[in-house]
Structure 1
Amino acid sequence: MIPPDTSPEAHRAQIEAYRRMTPGRRTELAFQMSYLVRETARAGIRSRHPDYSETEVEMALRRLILGHDLFGAAHPEGPLREP
């Protein structure tokens, strides 16, 4: 699937660049992207809820990632903080 802000040519070039990478490098990039997405989500939670402690930010992030039901099953003790 081509992102809407990316031309087909740029998308092909990106796919080719990924294909030339070693599996280790692709894995490293995946971890970096995951980290950046989580940091962006944390920043959004902090922006929406400046009163949250760091623990509450982490719990809200987990709820965002897991969804309400799975989060509740994994953390029945709460707190149930809005992301």
Structure 2
Amino acid sequence: MMRWQQPLVIEGAVRTCSGCGAYRDWIVFCLRDESIWLRCRAGHETREPSLDAAWYNRNSGPVDRWHPTLEDGLRHLGH
């Protein structure tokens, strides 16, 4: 998982949270099945089918830690 603090532009449009309208400060998850999920600051989560593991790998920094649970990872990122 990684933080994405700026607006997330996908296919020319700024991605907003369908639950609260947030458009920045995402947590981006790349799961083992290579699906990409977004989580806004309010905790709404949604799968993002327009992004893939290749996009994630191009935009993420080096992996600094593996987290046994989602909650542990979120604490590590300050959420």
Q: Which has the higher helix share?
A: 1
Q: Which has the higher strand share?
A: 2
The normalised TM-score by structure 2 is: 0.21
Largest Rg, 1 or 2: 1
Higher relative contact order, chain-length normalized (CA < 8 Å, sep 6+): 2
TM-score, length-scaled by structure 1: 0.20
